[in-house]
Amino acid sequence: MTTRPDSYVGDTVLAQFKPLQIAPLDPAEIAASFVRFARALSLSPSDSEAFQKDLHGAIDKRFEVREMAGNPVMLTALAILRHNGRKLPEFRVELYESILGWLAQARESMGLPLLRKLALRMQAAPGGRLVQIN
């Protein structure tokens, strides 16, 4: 799965897999996602309203973050980071780093250092870049 469809071309396309793209969310769909996310957290009505307002404000502040919020996977990650009290970074690379840190923390058995090693080995494999590892 990738949140960057432009990178899923050429050698990265896996045999026997059919790519599917999810259309970007519009502002009304993003707002509806905030409502459902707050409901899933079982927030009180006042906490739910405050959370949604805070998340809207954090996303609306930055063009790159606002652009990423149109992707359902990225929107969920942004909402989780914000719910966990994290300030959304100003730059995309910092946002990705925050998301990777959160994912690695959620999956402690793998850990970010191991994922970094795996990514490096796949990129620098002796026979050329690997797109899949058994």
**Has residue 1 been placed in a domain?**
no
Q: What is the pLDDT of residue 110?
A: 58
Question: Is 8 inside any structural domain?
Answer: no
Q: Is residue 60 part of a domain?
A: yes
Asked whether the predicted pLDDT for residue 53 surpasses 80, the reply is yes
Residue 5 lies in a domain: no
List the one residue out of 49, 70, 50 whose CA is nearest residue 59. Answer: 70
Average pLDDT over residues 33-58: 90
Full-prediction pTM beyond 0.75? Answer: no
**pLDDT confidence band for 67 (50 / 70 / 90):** confident
Residue 132 in any domain: the answer is no
Residue 133, domain member (yes or no): no
The percentage of the chain sitting over the pLDDT mark of 90, rounded to a whole number, equals 13
What are the pLDDT digits (tens) for 109-132?
A: 556 677 788 888 888 889 888 887
Residue 65 domain boundaries: 25-123
Distant-in-sequence, close-in-space partners of 59: CB < 8 Å, separation ≥ 6: 30, 65, 66, 69, 78, 88
Residue 77 has pLDDT above 90, yes or no: no
Tell me if 7 is assigned to some domain.
Answer: no
pLDDT for res 7: 64
Q: Is residue 15 part of a domain?
A: no
Q: How many domains does the chain have?
A: 1
Cβ-count burial 30-50 (b if 16+ within 10 Å, e if not): beebbeebbeeeebeeeebee
Distance CA 78, CA 125 (A): 33
